[in-house]
Homo-oligomer: A and B are copies of this chain.
């Protein structure tokens, strides 16, 4: 009898569903959040930490952008906007593509969103049915696979190699594509590697994806922060290409939560309907502020900052190599160095927490945040601190690693 009772109570607890859905259980948090929390703890305890873990510029929004926001606020221009954003801002973004990249795109295809995150979320919600497969690079930005999981798609990782600048090759994409594959997501410049994809490979991938009726999602969130002369956009590639971008990185407007997507015509209506319900509209003040983001005086400030990021990269990369880190693919964009730390221990997570954070007082992100493909040997450093801080960081890392 007692046995029956127990079993019946077990049955009851088994039948009772979990409160939390599978997607929320399976989706992993950013590991960097643990680093960040511990770094904050150490700082509160009075220790100085060089913060090289965060993907956020140390610069804030340029003066003209702040002025535009202040003026909109004074005028009470803070009501809801259309779901796809202010038409003036969509036109500004279109003009930006024409001016900067020589690409013509209709403002009707541009959707202003709540950050690149909002753009990615809506784009994948618009194209993915349950079970649809999506190819994502490993290492790569972890949200790609999480968004896919969130809408019941299946993320298939493409292991990318240093010899290909940590980007998929057309051959890899063709080999991995199945009848269930609906899309591929690529980030260039890449987070965490800061590398740009070879334009010929990308064009070949676009043609292939187009021939299969798939969607190429090109995450160009770091496009403005490129340190080569030949920066392109995936916008003029063939097939159904969704381009994602943001005011967070190049424009230094992180907390303003504003980005955009450029959509194939056939996706605009679906994306708009979802945007209406999911977001109502992107933050209005941020949109008003962003109207000043393309002014020549703003761009002059941003170009100076880009030059500063480049100077930092030119300091950090060789300095890390001199200490003994491997940088097998040189970053020429974003503000990250993806560095092989295997010379200093077997596991980059332990290296990040014990050696770098606790011992050296330098916060960085363990490679494991970005996938499973050799990521345990890597650590990501963000050069989102000024030169003085970066020099201090490098000295600390050197001392800790030489011990």
Binding site for B on A (CB under 8 A): 16-17, 19-25, 27-30, 33, 54, 56, 60-61, 66, 69-70, 73-74, 76, 78-81, 114-115, 117-118, 121, 125-130, 132, 142-143, 146-147, 150-152, 182, 213, 215, 240, 253-257, 264, 266-267, 269-274, 276-286
**B residues near A240, Cβ cutoff 8 Å:** 19
Taking a contact as CB atoms under 8 Å apart, the answer to whether B78 and A125 are in contact is no
Partner of A19, one of B118, B215, B282: B215
A285 with B69: in contact, given A24-B274, A130-B130, A254-B80 (CB under 8 Å)?
A: yes
Cβ A266 vs Cβ B19 within 8 A: yes
Give the CA-CA distance A209 to B31 in the complex, in Å: 35
Bound-state Cα–Cα, A126 to B22, Å: 8
* Complex: chain B residue closest to A67, CB-CB: B73
- Give the nearest-CB partner of A150 in chain B: B125
Residues of the B chain whose Cβ atoms lie less than 8 Å from the Cβ of A146? 277
Say which residue of B56, B61, B69 sits within 8 Å of A80 (CB atoms): B56
Cβ of A33: which chain B residues have Cβ within 8 Å of it?
A: 276
| Distance (whole angstroms) from the CB of A254 to the closest CB of chain B | 5
Residue of B nearest to A28 (CB): B273
One of B21, B66, B276, B283 near A270 (C-beta < 8 A): B21
Contact A78 B61 (CB under 8 A): yes
Q: A270 near B129 (CB under 8 angstroms)?
A: no
Question: Across the interface, do A17 and B279 meet the contact criterion of CB distance under 8 Å?
Answer: no
13 more contacts with CB within 8 A, not counting A22-B129, A121-B278, A257-B283, are A19-B264, A23-B125, A24-B274, A27-B274, A27-B277, A29-B273, A69-B285, A115-B279, A130-B152, A143-B277, A151-B151, A255-B284, A257-B280
Cα A115 to Cα B275 with chains together (Å):
13
- Pull 23 A–B residue pairs with CB atoms less than 8 Å apart, ordered by A: A19-B215, A20-B269, A21-B126, A21-B151, A24-B125, A24-B127, A28-B273, A33-B276, A54-B80, A69-B73, A69-B285, A80-B255, A117-B278, A117-B279, A118-B279, A147-B278, A150-B151, A151-B151, A254-B280, A255-B284, A256-B285, A283-B283, A283-B285
Alpha-carbon distance A120/B281, docked complex (angstroms): 15
A213 CA / B266 CA spacing, docked (Å): 42
A284 to B150, CA, bound (A): 25
Chain B residue numbers with a CB within 8 Å of A61 are 78
User: Does the CB pair B20–A126 fall under 8 Å?
Assistant: yes
Task: Kindly list chain B residues whose C-beta atoms are within 8 Å of the C-beta of A267.
Answer: 19-20
Q: In the complex, A277 Cα to B145 Cα: how many Å?
A: 10
- Tell me if B286 and A283 are in contact (CB < 8 A): yes
- Measured between beta carbons, the chain B residues less than 8 angstroms from A76 are 60
In the complex the two chains form, is A79's CB within 8 Å of B279's CB?
A: no
Separation of A267 and B69 alpha carbons in the complex (Å)? 36
B residues less than 8 Å from A285 (CB atoms)? 69, 255-256, 283, 285-286
- The distance in angstroms between the C-alpha atoms of A25 and B73, with both chains bound, is 37
**A276 and B30 contacting across the interface, CB-CB below 8 Å:** yes
- Is A78's CB under 8 angstroms from B24's CB? no
What CA separation (Å) do A56 and B24 show in the bound complex? 32
CB distance from A185 to the nearest CB of B (A): 13
B residues less than 8 Å from A118 (CB atoms):
278-279
Q: In the complex, what residues of B have CB within 8 A of residue A129's CB? A: 21-23
Min C-beta distance of A272 to chain B, whole Å: 8
